[in-house]
Structure 1
Amino acid sequence: MDSHTVPERDMDTYLDAVHSVAFDCHPKQLASDIGMSVKSLYRRLAEEDPMPMRLIDFVGIFWNVDREYQMRLIAPFLDHLGVVAVKRSEAGKVERGDVLASVLEAQQGSGKLAALIQVAIADGVVDDEEAAQLEAQHKAIEQQMSTLMGQLRAMRRPLTVVGQ
C-alpha cells in the first residue's frame, strides 16, 4: 500500500457491535450507567440520526459492560488490525494440567485445520466459504497458542541471584 492509499474501513462493522451490545445490555440501564438520557442513547444508536455515535459514547459503553460484551465491542477492531487477543494468565495461578490441556487443544485445532485444508484443496480451488472456515480455524489456533504461551510465561520463575 503506498502513502496515498487510504485503507478501506467499513464503519458499520464497528457500529453493529455497539448496537448489538447496547441493546443486549438493556439501553435504559446502560444510559443511566454512562450518564446519558435514554433518549440521547437511542439517538446515538439510530443510524439515520444526524448526531452519530462519538468515541466518548463508545468508551462509556465499553467501561460499563461486562467482559463478554467488552470483547464483542473490541472484536471488529482486532479483526481490522489482524490480531487476536487472549486473557493473560496470572503468575502462580497456572497448573501443569492447564498447560497440558492447552497443548491438546492446540493440537486438536491444528488437526482440524489440516482436515479443512485437505477438503478445501481437493478440487484445486478454495471457495469463499472454505476460505472463511480456514481463516476462522487459523484464528482459533492463534488464540490457543497465545493462551498456551501466556500460561508458560505465568509459570516462569524469576532468576535468583546467589551470593548477594
Structure 2
Amino acid sequence: MSQKSVCVTYLLWLFFGLFGIHRFYLNRPCSGVLYLFTCGCFFIGWFIDICLIPGMVEDYNAKYDSMNKTTTTVTQVVVQPVYQGSPQQQPYGAPPQQPYGAPPQQPYGAPPQQPYGAPPQQPYGAPPPQPYGAPPPGAYAPQGNYPPPYGPQ
C-alpha cells in the first residue's frame, strides 16, 4: 500500500464515481458498496464527493504514514519480591485469630446470633407475639361495635 494521489482520485471519481471506485481506491469499502448499489447514493453523494475527496485522501495518507512508522518502545519492568514474614505465634491454648472481616466463630453448641435489627426468635412452643397495641391474652376486652382486636371476633 502506498500513498494515494488527489489527482488519481478525482479521475476515478469523474469516470467511475457513480460505482464508488474512488472510495474503494481510498480503502473505504463500505461506502464503496453503498455507492455501487445506489448509483452514487442517487447522484447526490457523488456530487458531494467533489468537496470531500481532498480530506479523504489526506486521512488515508495520514493512516498510511502512521502504519509505516516503526517505533520501538522499551519498557522496563521492575519486579520487587514481596517478603511475607512468618505468622505471629499464638500463646499456647489460645484460639486461632480470624481473618480480618470474618464473622466471629460461635462456641460449639451455642445458639446462632441474630443479625442486627432482627426480632428475637421465640422458643419452641411459645405463643406468637401479640401485635403492637393489642391487649395481652386474658385481659379485659370491651364489648360492642369496636374495631378489631377489641370487638367480637
| TM-score (ref. length: structure 1) | 0.20
| Greater gyration radius | 2
Larger RCO, structures 1/2 (Cα 8 Å, 6+ apart): 1
